Amino acid sequence: MPGTHTTRLLPPAALLLGGTLLVTACASTAATGPHPVRSGDAIGTVVTPSPTPTPYGQNLSSYVGPVNDALGKLPQAGSLDDLSTSLTTLSGAASSGSTGLQGVTAPDSISDANRQLYVALNTLVSNISGVQDDIKSNKVCATSSALAEAGAMQGLKDVQSALQTLGNSGFTTAFNVPQTGQLQQRALNNGASVRKGNNDGSGEMTVDNSNGDGDAVITLASGGQSAYSFYVVKGQTAKMTGIRDGHYDIFFTGGVDWDNTTDKFTQDCSFSKFDQGNDFTTTSTTYSTLTITLKATVGGNASTSDVPPGQYPTP
């Protein structure tokens, strides 16, 4: 007799239990996995590494380098205005360098030298201001003399001294003070002609500089142009002869260090004009003579006015 196959269905409760067990197993697996990090969860202290300090040698070069570059451009100035502009650039570089070096951490062995350097750069800034003031006041009135004064600034010497000390400790950087020449005191002989002109006339002019403040050059100008000019040394009197007939305006410039190349004083220069000109006339029996005194005297009747340098006729 063939066997009997009986199929038994699980009770619904058993199916539900199986499903429950399966779900429970999945839930248990999820619970043992990684816990998601939520905003605000404490996960420990985060430490940001401190930046590595810039080595002192690099700081030294970065702050002194612009000063060295600006120094090298001073001799390239073609005029007093150009030189003053270059000095302003130099002053800015020195000021920035001084401020920067005050903020760096220098090794203990050179901390005094570092201080010496930024103090020297501050001195240089002050010196530059002094040179620019001298340019404005005509104490130095030529590029050559202003450049010479700049090259002699105490701040430059102090910077060089500080850098030498640092160099002895192994910290070197480029710093080259350009050749700027020296202040001079050139002069002509008393009565020497600066512009002789046509000296075939009969007029004469005598200039008394016995009480003057410095050497002077007297110019007779016609139509705004120099016709005759001559040099009068401080403390002396000089005469020019051979002046042609005509009306002349009378100018004079005083100062120190006469430059024959530019026909100007390079230091302590002044530019003036007698408010009243003079007529030179010659007849068959007479000729004109004129005597002027450069220092104001009691009873004098010749007034003068300052003349802007750019409006002064070249002697």
Write down how long the chain is.
Answer: 315
Q: Which residue has the higher pLDDT, 68 or 52?
A: 68
The percent of residues in the chain predicted with pLDDT above 90, rounded, is: 76
Q: What pLDDT score does 54 carry?
A: 82
Decide which of 199 and 43 is more confident.
199
Give the other-Cβ count within 10 Å of 134's Cβ.
18
**What integer is the mean pLDDT of 120-143?**
97
Q: What is the pLDDT of residue 46?
A: 64
The answer for residues whose C-beta is within 8 angstroms of residue 97's C-beta and 6 or more apart is 63, 64, 66, 67, 118, 121
Please check the confidence at residue 178 and state whether its pLDDT lies above 90: yes
Closest to 201 in 3D by CA, of 219, 227, 232: 227
CA pair distance 61, 66, nearest whole angstrom: 9
For 264-279, what is the mean pLDDT?
Answer: 95
At residue 259, does pLDDT exceed 90? yes
Side-chain half-sphere of 296: how many Cα atoms within 13 Å? 4
Mean pLDDT taken over the chain: 87
Q: List the one residue out of 245, 238, 249 whose CA is nearest residue 313.
A: 249
Q: 222 pLDDT exceeds 80?
A: yes
Residue 292 scores a pLDDT above 80: yes
pLDDT at 303: 86
**Residue 125: its pLDDT value, please?**
98
Mean pLDDT of all residues in 174-193:
95
Pairwise pLDDT comparison (294 vs 140), residue with the higher score: 140
Stretch 170-186: mean pLDDT: 95
3-46 residue pLDDT tens: 544 444 444 444 444 444 344 444 444 444 555 545 555 556 66
The pLDDT of residue 295: 76
User: pTM of the entire structure?
Assistant: 0.78
More confident residue, 297 or 277: 277
What is the average per-residue pLDDT within 127-139?
A: 97
**CA–CA dist 29, 40 (Å, integer):** 26
User: Residue 28's pLDDT is what?
Assistant: 43
The arithmetic mean of pLDDT across residues 58-70, rounded, is 97
Q: Lowest mean pLDDT: which of 21-25, 29-33, 112-116, 198-202? A: 21-25
Mean pLDDT over 293-310 rounds to: 75
